[in-house]
C-alpha cells in the first residue's frame, strides 16, 4: 500500500462535508481532484487520519456567470476552463493560463478551488486570483466568510483556511473596459511548475495613457508576489517600452526569489524582467483591441 492508513468518507452534501470537517478538523484533509494530495499521500509526505472526498458533490462543480461575476464552485475541474465559451471572452487571463496547469489528464480531475487551497507557491491559479482581485468564499461551522487573496495566502502551502473550513467558491469580478491581460511563464518543461510566471493586467484611460496595472508573479515567493510598487509606476504614464522597462526593473529589484535546484535567484530575477516586459506588451495590444483580443 502506498499511503499510510486513513479513514474515508464520501459525503453526499456540503452540510455533511462540513459536519465531517467539524468532527475531524485537524486530522482530516479534503480530497477534491487529488492531483497534488495523491502524490503527497503516496510518498507519505502527508498522512491525514481522515480523508473527506467531496467528489460526489456535483452541485458544487459549477462554473457560472452571475451578477457580472464568474463564480466557480469547489468541485469545478480545471479542464472546464478550457471548454468554457464565457471564460475566454470575459476572463481571458484564466483561459490563457489554464493550459500551463500540469497536463490535460491532470486538469481532468484537478479543481480550481483545490489548487487555491493547496497554495503551491509555483502554481498558476493563486497568482491569477491575486491579479484579478478574486474573492474566496469559505464555509465553516460559523457560517460563511469571504477572504481576499492577500489575506488567504499566508505562506508555502499555507492559507488562512481553518481545519474545519471548506473553500466553497471563488468569485472573479467583472472585467473592466479597456483592459488587457497576459499570462507568461517559463518552466523547464511544459507542464512543470513554473520557475517564474507572471500575470499582467493593464487598464488604459480613454486618452490611451495607463490608468492602472497589476503585476503578480508565481514561483518567486512563498505566496503570489504582488509587485504593487512596480505596477503603480505605470499609472498616468504612456504605456510604452520605456515605462514597461521601468516597471519590470522595479518588480525584479523588489523581488526576493530563492535559489534552488531548479534555478538561481539571479536567473529568476532575470526572468521577472524579461517576462514582465513581454507580458505588459501583450496586455497593451489587447487593451487597445489589437488582434482579436483572445489569447
Partner 1 sequence: MDRHRKTVHLTVNGVEYEREVEVRKTLADFLRYDLGLRGTHLGCEHGVCGACTVMFNDSSARSCILYAVQADGADILTVEGLTSPEGPLHPIQEAFRKHHGLQCGFCTPGFLMPALELLVEKHGPTEKEIRNAISGNLCRCTGYAGIVEAIREADAMWERP
Beta carbon nearer to partner 1, 7 or 256: 7
CB 53 within 8 A of CB 9: yes
Beta carbon nearer to partner 1, 104 or 208: 104
Interface with partner 1 by CB under 8 A: which range of 104-112, 125-133, 178-186, 238-246? 104-112
Among 13, 42, 146, 158, binds partner 1 (CB under 8 A): 42
Among 46, 61, 62, 108, binds partner 1 (CB under 8 A): 108
Among 23, 105, 238, 259, binds partner 1 (CB under 8 A): 105
Q: How far is the CB of 106 from partner 1 (least distance, A)?
A: 6
Q: How far is the CB of 16 from partner 1 (least distance, A)?
A: 16
Interface with partner 1 by CB under 8 A: which range of 41-49, 68-76, 129-137, 237-245? 41-49
Q: How far is the CB of 4 from partner 1 (least distance, A)?
A: 7
Residue 205 touches partner 1, criterion: CB under 8 A: no
HEC secondary structure over the chain: CCCCCCEEECCCCHHHHHHHHHHHHHHEEEECCCCCHHHHHHCCCCCCCEEEECCCCHHHCCEEEECCEEEEECCCECHHHHHCCHHHHHCHHHHHHHHHCCCHHHHHHCEHHHHHHHCCCCCHHHHHHHHCCCEEEEEECCEEEEECHHHHEEECCEECCCCCCEEEEEEECCCCCCEEEEEEEECCCCCCCCCEEEEEEEEECCCCCEEEEEEEEECCCCCCEECHHHHHCCCCCCCCHHHHHHHHHHHHHHCCCCCCCCCCHHHHHHHHHHHHHHHHHHHHHHHCCCCCCCC
CB 122 within 8 A of CB 100: no
Beta carbon nearer to partner 1, 2 or 67: 2
Residue 191 touches partner 1, criterion: CB under 8 A: yes
Q: How far is the CB of 43 from partner 1 (least distance, A)?
A: 6
How many chain residues are in contact with partner 1, going by CB under 8 A? 31
| Binders in 20-39 for partner 1, by CB under 8 A | 31, 34-35, 38-39
Residue 186 touches partner 1, criterion: CB under 8 A: no
CB 196 within 8 A of CB 271: yes
Residue 109 touches partner 1, criterion: CB under 8 A: yes
Beta carbon nearer to partner 1, 102 or 126: 102
| Binders in 214-253 for partner 1, by CB under 8 A | none
Q: How far is the CB of 34 from partner 1 (least distance, A)?
A: 6
Residue 190 touches partner 1, criterion: CB under 8 A: yes
Interface contacts to partner 1, rule CB under 8 A: 1-8, 10, 31, 34-35, 38-39, 41-43, 51, 53, 55, 79, 99, 102-106, 108-109, 190-191
Amino acid at each position: 500500500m502506498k499511503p499510510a492508513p486513513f479513514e474515508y468518507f464520501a459525503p453526499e452534501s456540503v452540510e455533511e462535508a462540513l459536519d465531517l470537517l467539524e468532527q475531524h478538523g485537524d486530522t482530516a484533509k479534503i480530497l477534491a481532484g487529488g492531483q497534488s494530495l495523491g502524490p503527497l499521500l503516496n510518498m507519505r509526505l502527508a498522512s491525514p487520519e481522515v480523508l473527506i472526498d467531496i467528489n460526489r458533490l456535483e452541485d458544487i462543480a459549477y462554473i457560472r456567470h452571475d451578477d457580472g461575476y464568474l463564480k466557480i464552485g469547489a468541485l469545478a475541474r480545471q479542464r472546464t476552463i478550457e471548454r468554457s465559451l464565457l471564460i475566454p471572452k470575459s476572463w481571458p487571463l484564466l483561459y490563457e493560463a489554464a493550459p500551463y496547469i500540469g497536463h490535460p489528464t491532470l486538469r481532468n480531475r484537478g479543481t480550481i478551488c483545490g489548487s487555491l487551497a493547496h497554495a503551491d507557491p509555483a502554481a498558476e491559479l493563486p497568482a491569477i486570483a491575486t491579479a484579478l482581485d478574486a474573492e474566496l468564499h469559505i464555509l465553516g461551522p460559523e457560517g460563511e466568510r469571504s477572504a481576499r487573496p492577500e489575506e488567504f495566502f499566508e505562506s508555502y502551502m499555507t492559507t488562512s483556511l481553518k481545519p474545519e473550513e471548506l473553500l466553497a467558491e471563488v468569485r472573479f469580478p467583472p472585467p473592466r473596459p479597456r483592459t488587457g491581460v497576459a499570462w507568461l511563464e517559463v518552466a523547464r518543461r511544459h507542464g512543470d511548475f513554473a520557475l517564474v510566471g507572471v500575470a499582467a493586467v493593464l487598464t488604459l484611460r480613454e486618452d490611451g495613457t495607463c490608468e492602472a496595472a497589476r503585476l503578480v508573479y508565481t514561483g518567486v515567493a512563498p505566496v503570489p508576489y504582488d509587485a504593487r510598487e512596480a505596477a503603480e509606476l505605470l499609472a498616468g504614464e504612456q504605456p510604452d517600452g520605456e515605462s514597461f522597462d521601468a516597471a519590470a526593473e522595479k518588480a525584479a529589484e523588489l523581488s526576493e526569489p530563492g535559489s534552488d535546484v531548479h534555478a538561481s535567484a539571479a536567473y529568476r530575477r532575470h526572468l521577472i524582467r524579461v517576462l514582465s516586459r513581454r507580458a505588459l506588451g501583450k496586455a497593451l495590444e489587447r487593451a487597445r483591441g489589437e488582434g482579436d483580443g483572445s489569447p
